[in-house]
Amino acid sequence: MLAHGWPWSSFSWHRIIPELARHFTVHWYDMPGYGMSEKRADQPTSLDVQGEVFAQMLAHWGLSRPRVVAHDFGGATTLRAHLLHGCDYERYVLMNVVAMRPWGSEFFDHVGRHVAAFQGLPPHIHRALVGAYIDGALVNDLQGDDRENLIAPWLTPEGAASFYRQFAQADEKYTAEVEPMFADVRCPVKIVWGEDDPWIPLARGKALHALMADAQFATLPGTGHLPQLENPQAVLGELLAFL
């Protein structure tokens, strides 16, 4: 089961799904408010809701003890599902995850405080902003049209509104609730981290590992915040060895 993060979508897994599918039955989806999922104006899509939806998706697919791979805020989403909603995992990979406070860049905090001002941007400026935001997560150029496909869901009127709603609904309380419980994770864990992540530095990954002392820990040199697209072969090596 693959859990994407923000501002990504399930598309972010497309370079590793074919190889994973040779070994496992792979499940993935766009979280509410992301990718091809519904983006209603009145739709709550904060991390508490995402954790509940992840648990519901496991029930929908009949997955009682899946192997879970989580990236970015997929970390907080799946940790909440595991620690608060009773979802059990066979094995669990946390890759450059949002799991501990503080989280979010200065830009992230700024937009969150001034969402209304950004929601009125002309489409071409909004597109440039989304592109620049995504570029800020990377230390390597992406292959083919991967960058454009990451940007595309946010360019429709509904997508643009949902993009800024994610900033408005972000709240560190959703990780604060589970941080004291990290030692209670009930399955083997591997933490994988792009060493040069501009958004969530390696030190945060090491701090997470300190709270999960039994977890394996691996780093990916020369890789930023989006390892599954920046360095997919290295990611597959780490996943297949563990899963």
**Is there a contact between 1 and 66 (Cβ–Cβ < 8 Å)?**
yes
Pairing state of beta strands 91-97 and 189-194? parallel
pLDDT in tens, the chain (243 residues): 999 999 999 999 999 999 999 999 999 999 999 999 999 999 999 999 999 999 999 999 999 999 999 999 999 999 999 999 999 999 999 999 999 998 877 888 889 888 989 988 999 999 999 999 999 999 999 999 999 999 999 999 999 999 999 999 999 999 999 999 999 999 999 999 999 999 999 999 999 999 998 999 999 999 999 999 999 999 999 999 999
Three-state DSSP state, 123: helix
Name which CATH class applies to 2-242: alpha beta
Token pair, residue 173, equals: 């309380």
Spatial separation of the C-alpha atoms in residues 6 and 85, rounded to whole Å: 22
Each domain of the chain, given as residue ranges in start order, spans 2-242
The pTM for the full model equals 0.97
Q: How many CB atoms lie within 10 A of CB 183?
A: 9
The conformation of residue 14, written as its DSSP 8-state character, comes to T
Percentages helix, strand, coil for the chain (3-state, rounded to 5) are: 50, 10, 40
